[in-house]
Structure formats: C-alpha cells, structure tokens
Structure 1
Amino acid sequence: MPQIIEFPPRPYLGVRRTITMTSFHLVADRIGEIIGRLAERGTAPAGAPFLRYHSIDMAADRLVVEAGVPVPAPMDAEDDLLAATLPAGRYVTTTHHGHPDQLAGAVESLLRWGREQGLEWDLTEKDGVEHWGCRLELYRTDPRVEPDMNNWDTDLQLRLT
C-alpha cells in the first residue's frame, strides 16, 4: 500500500543524460562508477542509488534522466558528475518487488492510486511532455548480492505539490 512520507532535502552526486527507452544503459550503467568515485573520496553512499526522471516525452521517445547516489552531505561536482539535492517535500512512496521491466506498470498503478486519493503530483505537462519536480526509482537491491532481477526491490517515490 502506498504511503505519504515527508523527506528532507537529500544531497547526491549524479549524471544527467537525454536518452530513449532503449538507451537507459547510458545513464543507469553510470551508477557503479559514481559509487566507485565516492569510494575514492572516502565517502559511503547515504542510501540506495536511483534514477530521477526530469522529463518524459513518450511520443518522441525522449527522456531526461539522472542516475544518482545519495551522499551524507553536499559535495563538489567533478568532471561530468553533478552535485545536486533532491527537493524536500511530501512523496508518495511504494516498493515494487520484481524485474525492473515491470516498473512501468507499478508506476501506472501508483499514479492511478494517487488520482483516486485526489493527490496532486509535482508535475506539469506541456505539449505532451511530462516535467516532474521529483520522480524517483530507488534500487535497494545490490545486483552483486542478488543477480536475479526478478528478486529486486525498487522504491518508487513521486513528489506531491
């Protein structure tokens, strides 16, 4: 069952890319590198790595997505890594257990639930393009520990207005 949780600002290091539905690897595959660069700095992640969706244009197959890793305190950007902060606020959150290919259905169920509850997402739509204030998929399962993607746990967090 989805819950509404108040989150404080959460700093992270990440990388942003404009991708298509078939090129998610260009951003998602950077998570391991970000974790490695944090280790080089002597910093452990402060939470699960995530994908943050900034804009979604399904008609044009164009998405602006960040791969990020939470950090305990703000850090400096380096090279093509950006230093940013997830905005504070109220988020609808739920956990999906299963293959990441099933996340689209889980998100649709969460959006439907929110509509039924009369909730307003931190979302604007212009010319068929969704622009999210903060829409996250947090990957709680370490693929080195559990390689079977059917056993992965992914938290979905969508910010409310």
Structure 2
Amino acid sequence: MSSSEPRVETRSARPYACIRTRAPLSEWGRVNALVGEVRAWLDERGVAVVGAPQYRYHSVDVAGEIDVEVGWCVAEPVEGDGRVRPGEWPAGEYAVCDHVGSPDRITEAFARLDEWSARTGRPFAKRGETWVGRFETYLTDPAHEPDLDRWRTEVAYLLGTG
C-alpha cells in the first residue's frame, strides 16, 4: 500500500451528476450506497458516464459530519431531479496523488498532499472551511478486483492562488 508523490495537473471543467449528503464516518456505508444509486439514475436516462465513481468533499470533520457529493462524471451536463443534481469540477491546477491500497488507508494520500502543500507553499483552494475542489476518484472496479490492497484511488485537490 502506498501513495505517490503529488504532482500538479491542469484540468478543464468536467460535468458530473451526484447526490449530496452529510454523514458521520459511522454511516459511511449509506454514503457508499449512493454510488450505485447515481449510476442507476444515469443508466435509466441513457446518460453517458465518463470515468469512475467519485466523491467531492465540501467539508470534512472526521469527529462529526462530512459534507460530500457522490457521483459520476458525464459526457454532457445533466438536469437534476431534486435528488440527483448536476455538478462540475472547477477548472484549474490540481495537486494529484495516487493511492494504492484499501480506501480505509486513504488518509496516507491526504497526509502526502498536506506535506507537499507545506513543503512547496502551494495552498489548497478553500472558502473558509469549505473546499473548492477536493475529489477522490475510485479507479478500481470492485467487481473485477476484490482485493482491497490492489485498489487504486486518485485524490485531487484544487490549488489556491495564495
């Protein structure tokens, strides 16, 4: 299990469809179930999915609730229905780190990114305590790779300007 050295990537805006929720870590199973719900919603409407499932974190309080969107990037923007809503990755420079191993150890990637930010003086984009662009993309399909130690996850944080 390991996390790569962070790298900077410039990314364009990308549309996605998601469900936003708040939950403590003790209810993370409920959050994870939203991956399938959003995918089924997209499939029912014939919406083309681009890539893997993703989580966008707006605020993280590991002792309390986490404000998160769970969804999928799509080829074209979607109209929401109240439960499923449209979203968009903000365009800009991202600090990106690849994590190989169980999602339960994803904090290794977070620590790498925090260390990188402190070392380089490149802050992450935030408005107060709200992240402007903090994403996890799950690159491994559990149906094809049941071994959690082989899962690949990309963590990407939008960089700030100051």
Name the residue aligned to 1:93: 96
Q: Cα deviation per residue 1:104-127 (whole Å; 9 max; x = unaligned)?
A: 1221121111210110110244xx
Is 1:25 the counterpart of 2:24? The answer is no
CA distance in 1, matches of 2:152, 2:99: 6
Identity across the alignment (%): 34
Aligned residues: 156
Letter in 2 for 1:150: D
CA distance in 1, matches of 2:151, 2:80: 30
Is contact 2:6-2:112 (8 Å) kept? no
CA shift digits 1:23-69 (9 cap, x unpaired): 1222221111211221222223112211111012234x111011010
Question: What is the TM-score when the length of structure 2 is the normalising length?
Answer: 0.90
Q: Which residue of 2 aligns with 1:144?
A: 143
Whether the 8 Å CA contact 1:140–1:155 is kept in 2: the answer is: yes
- Does residue 53 (structure 1) correspond to residue 57 (structure 2)? The answer is yes
User: Where do 5+ consecutive residues of structure 2 fail to align?
Assistant: none
Q: 3-state SS of the aligned residue for 2:50?
A: coil
State whether structure 2 residue 40 is matched by structure 1 residue 36.
Answer: yes
Q: Given the two structures, how large is their TM-score scaled by the length of structure 1?
A: 0.91
**Is the CA contact 1:17–1:26 (under 8 Å) kept in the aligned structure 2?**
no
Matched residues in 1 for 2:90 and 2:39: separation?
A: 21
Q: In structure 2, what is the Cα distance between the partners aligned to 1:57 and 1:102?
A: 17
Which residue pairs with 1:135 in the alignment? Answer: 134
Of residues 122, 127, 130 in structure 1, which corresponds to 2:125? 122
